[in-house]
């Protein structure tokens, strides 16, 4: 009787283990097939999540002040959409105006050639050779017209179609990102509760710790990339305007976007410096180049690492690798995913190798967490 009962118990245990494993494989299967089904929409979902994490503290503060309701997440979503769409619309109008000017300039060049700029003769070296080359190749309308006719028009049309297709795809991703942002803000408390419960069941306390590290990294990355980039764009835009650079507003916006990636603002400032040189603005070009070097150096080496790494105790090298590696792998979205991944990896490394009994996770202002080993 005892032997039979023991066999039955062992059989029940084996059956229970088999069922748990089957449920685990079934869950992994449905997760994998769901990710494959939604793989075209994953960037939109991730962008919406990044926006929601970045705006959540401000949203909760206003929700406590004005009360709950669907109007508050809707207002937040509309404001975020306008922050992106308003500058892009202005940039599109400016580009259209510039395109008409370029077409007029090309028509003028076909008939009159390109006159040599005044600064060409004032070069400290090779001025005569440069002037002779310009006179031989660019001042003749026939030579310039032949060069323009040699441009592959069909390739240009293909590039235009590709740009239009990319714009349509980006527009779809942006629309679904805003939709994701609205529902995450609207149901954020419920989503957080369920996520913490699931994390606790799967990974224990360490899962919540890693989640807090990722959230702190996203907050720091938003401040370190977006806010610092916008600050650089504002400062350099003012410098462009005072220096007399062409289209200072457009170049300021381009500089702000480029400055969100470390070291990427240098080419934009360099283009403006070259345009100032072409306009015979040697002194203005030197001032813009010097100011740009100072602003970019301070932002990339002091302000940005302090904002991104300060909230997660992440070393600058890890921050830089996360930003550049994330951008290389994931595109623009990788600017936020990369530091979050590196912050989680750094936390795991710290937990595994630290001799201390306690590790502080997160920023003190956001409610730091103490993890005991």
pTM, entire model = 0.66
* pLDDT confidence of residue 179: 92
Q: How many CB atoms lie within 10 A of CB 193?
A: 10
Q: Residue 228: which of 264, 196, 199 has the closest Cα?
A: 264
Structure tokens at 197: 């419960």
Rounded CA-CA distance 357/260 in Å is 37
Most confident of 33-37, 231-235, 361-365: 231-235
Rounded CA-CA distance 306/314 in Å is 9
Rounded CA-CA distance 54/125 in Å is 53
* pLDDT confidence of residue 355: 62
Tell me the average pLDDT across 86-113: 72
pLDDT tens per residue across span 302-361:
887 777 776 667 777 787 788 888 888 888 788 888 888 888 888 888 777 766 544 544
């Amino acid at each position: 009787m005892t032997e039979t009962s023991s066999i039955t118990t062992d059989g029940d245990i084996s059956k229970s283990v088999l069922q748990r494993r089957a449920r685990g494989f079934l869950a992994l299967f449905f997760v994998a097939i769901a990710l494959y089904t939604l793989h075209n929409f994953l960037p939109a979902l991730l962008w919406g999540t990044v926006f929601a994490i970045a705006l959540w503290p401000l949203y909760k503060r206003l929700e406590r002040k004005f009360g709950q309701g669907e109007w508050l997440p809707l207002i937040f979503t509309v404001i975020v959409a306008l922050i992106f769409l308003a500058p892009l619309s202005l940039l599109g109008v400016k580009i259209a105006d510039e395109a008409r000017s370029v077409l007029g300039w090309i028509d003028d060049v076909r008939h009159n050639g390109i006159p040599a700029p005044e600064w060409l003769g004032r070069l400290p070296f090779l001025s005569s050779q440069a002037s002779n080359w310009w006179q031989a190749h660019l001042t003749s309308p026939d030579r310039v017209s032949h060069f323009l006719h040699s441009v592959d028009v069909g390739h240009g049309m293909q590039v235009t179609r590709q740009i239009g297709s990319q714009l349509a795809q980006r527009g779809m991703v942006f629309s679904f990102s805003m939709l994701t942002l609205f529902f995450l803000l609207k149901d954020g408390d419920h989503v957080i509760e369920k996520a913490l419960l699931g994390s606790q069941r799967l990974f224990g306390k360490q899962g919540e710790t890693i989640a807090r590290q990722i959230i702190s990294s996203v907050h720091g990355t938003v401040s370190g990339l977006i806010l610092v980039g916008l600050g650089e764009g504002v400062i350099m835009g003012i410098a462009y305007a005072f220096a007399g650079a062409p289209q200072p507003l457009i170049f300021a916006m381009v500089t702000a976007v480029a400055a969100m990636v470390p070291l990427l603002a240098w080419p934009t400032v360099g283009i403006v410096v070259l345009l100032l040189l072409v306009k015979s603005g040697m002194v203005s070009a030197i001032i813009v180049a010097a100011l740009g070097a100072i602003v970019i150096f301070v932002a990339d080496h002091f302000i940005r690492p302090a904002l991104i790494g300060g909230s997660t105790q992440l070393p600058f090298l890890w921050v830089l690798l996360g930003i550049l590696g994330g951008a290389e792998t994931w595109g623009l979205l990788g600017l936020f995913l990369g530091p979050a991944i590196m912050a989680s990896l750094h936390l795991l490394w710290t937990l595994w190798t630290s001799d201390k009994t306690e590790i502080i996770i997160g920023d003190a202002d956001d409610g730091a967490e103490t993890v005991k080993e």
